[in-house]
Amino acid sequence: MTTVTKPEGAPAANAPDGFLSVRDLQVTFSTEDGPVKAVDGLSFDLARGRTLGIVGESGSGKSVTNLTVLGLHNPLFTKTDGEIVLDGKELITATEKEMEELRGNRAAMIFQDPLTALSPFYTVGRQIAEPYMKHRKVSKKAAWERAVEMLAKVGIPNPRERAKDYPHQFSGGMRQRAMIAMALVCDPDLLIADEPTTALDVTVQAQILDLLKDLQQEFGSGIIFITHDLGVIADMADDIMVMYAGNAVERGTVDEVLRAPQHPYTWGLLNSMPRLDSDLDTPLSPIPGSPPSLLHPPSGCRFHPRCTFQDRVAGAAGRCVDERPLLGPDRASACHLTADQKRTIFIEEIKPRLA
């Protein structure tokens, strides 16, 4: 069974516009080797009509967080604490029946690989029509018409004919479009896109991103966009949350975080991005080391084993190893460096390397 604990002294259960509010989320998996805390005290809000980009390496907790929002973890192996409120409805304590009603209707997900969402045994049209028929209680014929309409909306040529095709008869880009059509068929308030364009070539990727932006304008959904690619975030998102080892380390608007990043991990991510204007022989500068094991996470600041700035932190020696920095509200970064140090280091040492 999923174990549920309400956070002590958590803020009132409502987001700024009454949309999505996550407070002190903790997700722990039972494994053979012991409990793994994949998300550890995460809080964030999403307003309707805005896009939140969540960025971080594998294992940062970004996908786990969003699968939790949709109640997609196996409750036998998962303990979830904290609070997730979507439009006034608490989701952690919701029954499986309530979550089923929510998924594909008010909240939907687009995955990296459409073949995980599309069945090879049914036509594309049927798979788009089914959630519409189920949630909107319409006839088969009306649902089929809606599927054809959605395929047209996502740019599938000759949609009435192509709706009768099976997924294997679609190209990779078309399957991705079909999955977007399936996710949006019930006009969800919340759309979660998990690396939706990673497997596609650059041209198709740009088309899919443009399509998502257009559809958001039309449907007014709140979007959570998960990626490891800061370039995609810059193009898609209004706000950014950078995650590392199960928690947020920096957040702000896209402009704030990309123009004046404050956290050493964000500096590392920016520095490791390939640049279009750089020589092909120019080596990339990856962040040294690798993400920590969440079975035995580092003490204090979880980024400390990889951080080259900890000797600049004022106060007791070893503060980064002993004391976990907390993330403040609004524009913030979880790091013991002072605001002045963050600004100066970025301008004098990091920015020239990014130019």
Tokens of 266: 């964000």
Strands 78-86 and 20-31: antiparallel
* CB nearer ligand SF4, residue 49 or residue 298: 298
Q: Is 251 in the site for ligand SF4 (CB under 6 A)?
A: no
Q: Is 337 in the site for ligand SF4 (CB under 6 A)?
A: yes
Beta carbon of residue 226, minimum distance to ligand SF4 (angstroms, whole number): 22
**What's the sign of the alpha-carbon dihedral 43, 49, 50, 55?**
positive
* CB nearer ligand SF4, residue 37 or residue 302: 302
Q: Is 307 in the site for ligand SF4 (CB under 6 A)?
A: yes
Question: For ligand SF4, which residue of 29, 225, 303, 346 counts as binding (CB under 6 A)?
Answer: 303
Which range binds ligand SF4 by CB under 6 A, 40-48, 190-198, 215-223, 308-316? 308-316
Question: For ligand SF4, which residue of 56, 264, 268, 291 counts as binding (CB under 6 A)?
Answer: 264
Beta carbon of residue 309, minimum distance to ligand SF4 (angstroms, whole number): 4
Beta carbon of residue 104, minimum distance to ligand SF4 (angstroms, whole number): 39
Beta carbon of residue 313, minimum distance to ligand SF4 (angstroms, whole number): 5
Tokens of 262: 């404050």
* CB nearer ligand SF4, residue 237 or residue 335: 335
* CB nearer ligand SF4, residue 78 or residue 262: 262
Beta carbon of residue 288, minimum distance to ligand SF4 (angstroms, whole number): 12
List of residues contacting ligand SF4 (CB under 6 A): 264, 301, 303-304, 307, 309-310, 313, 320, 325, 335-337
